[in-house]
Amino acid sequence: MAKESFDKEIQFLRMLVLTSGAFNRQQFAERLGISVHTFDKTIRRLKEVAGSVHPSSQEQSQEISETLRYSYYDSTDPLLLFLFRAKSVKETESQRISLLLGAMNEQARTAMELLDVCCDSLPADLALPDEKTIRSDLKYLEQVGVIRREPGPRPYRYRIQDDLVRCLTDEELIDLYDFVDVMANTQVPSVQGYLLRDGLKKHLLRSEMEPHAAEPFLYKYHYYSRILDEAHLFTLLSAIRHRRKVQFLYFSPKSEKSYASKNTNPLFERETKGKQEKTLPLKIVYDHQYGRWYLLSYGREGIRKYRMEGITQIVEEDEPVAEELFMARLEELAERTRYSWLIDTGRPVKVRARFYNPGGSEPNFVRERVHLQGQWGQIVEEEEDSFIYEITVNGTTEIRPWLRSFGSSCEVLEPLQLRREMIVEWKEIQTYYEPV
């Protein structure tokens, strides 16, 4: 369902929140690899969707870039979630599915009865669906768990799957809502939790529940990419589960562009800046420090790493690879990432660092944090005012931000090259605070 345009909107929103509207229309279009006309059309579509989801958070005439810049903190909901609520379906699909759900909410119906409902209720300017289209919609809704097929002979009857909310009391529903709210805001992945939370909240409000009863906790979300990248997460997890290769157009973080339209007219075929990839997904890794998702896979060049924010036009192949081959690739990946702080597959190196205990502080929060976040590293020496921590990691690139985050409480001892690099970085930071 409009997968290609979903990619465009994801990259569009990513640039919008990262640049805070600093680009003009021409610069934005060039960066995305689209025309200014397509830019205008896309932003109109996003304004319509955002306005329908957050009608009270913005004026209709307000630019969506201003909404993201100034109104993001007006709501506890992650504003970018409206993209998933819209699901990037076409207008005809959206209206048709709404009619189908409304009809099945009243009673269980067959595909032919639902076809009659659509033909009678759709606006005259929209094309009428056929039986194949209705059955395709029903299959999709059944796969995502929105409807269920009633037991019995053909023709099969379908109804809304809402047993959960119907069998729980109001007090139990509030407890369930609170649990989903906490988990969606503190765990990954989160988008499905947010969507479930919204469904429960609407049901509670329809049951004449006081609005404040459904807002016991307040969260503020900061990692935009984490939400946007979950659009591809479950496609990749499905490919891993079924041992299938995937194809996609990839834009590296250093690429000048982050998107390319899918050209269907050969007259308008043009060279893209992205690279067409075909690879076997093995593992998904989430970086808590930067809020990024990574795909680890095996391709022609061996073990490959991709930032999921650069993946577009993803397609899962039909034929699975042999289980023996898949397990062999997994074992190779495990060995290559054995000493990875995150996903680095470089040469193993031993890092030694001295951490200084906070003066007069009990408990020792520096030591507690090293124990909590230090992975397989160990404290090998202890003194009254400090302790020495050792760990073997693949390269020093990924561990460096963690060491730096301790500020003056951490001194890198080995390797010498890392120590010199840290000295240069801190001198550069010091210049930022020199008196003007």
pLDDT for the residue 58: 43
List, as one string, the DSSP characters of 206-250.
HTT--GGGG---------HHHHHHHHHHHHHHHHHHTTEEEEEEE
Name 253's Cβ contacts closer than 8 Å, sequence gap at least 6.
Answer: 307, 309, 310
Find, among 117, 104, 101, the residue nearest to 158 by Cα. Answer: 104
Q: What is the pLDDT of residue 340?
A: 94
Per-residue pLDDT, 59: 43
- Please, are residues 330 and 312 in contact by the beta-carbon 8 Å criterion? no
How high is the pLDDT of residue 269? 46
Residue segments in the chain with a per-residue pLDDT below the cut of 50: 1-3, 56-61, 73, 265-269
pLDDT at 60: 40
Q: Could you give the angle at which helices 25-32 and 36-53 cross, rounded to 10 degrees?
A: 100
**What Rg value do the Cα atoms of the chain yield, rounded?**
26
- In this prediction, residue 64 carries a pLDDT of 58
pLDDT of amino acid 369: 93
* pLDDT given at position 296: 96
pLDDT given for residue 78 in this prediction: 66
pLDDT in tens, 213-255: 656 677 666 677 788 888 889 899 999 999 999 999 998 887 7
Taking CA atoms, 198 is separated from 9, 178, 205, in Å, by 22, 12, 11
pLDDT the model gives residue 320? 93
Summarize pLDDT for 374-415 with one digit per residue, the tens: 999 999 999 888 999 999 999 999 999 999 999 989 999 999
Give, rounded to a whole angstrom, the gap between the first and last alpha carbons of the chain. Answer: 56
pLDDT value at position 246? 95
pLDDT value at position 61? 38
Q: pLDDT value at position 3? A: 45
Asked if residue 287 lies in contact with residue 220, where contact means CB atoms within 8 angstroms, the answer is no
pTM over 0.85: no
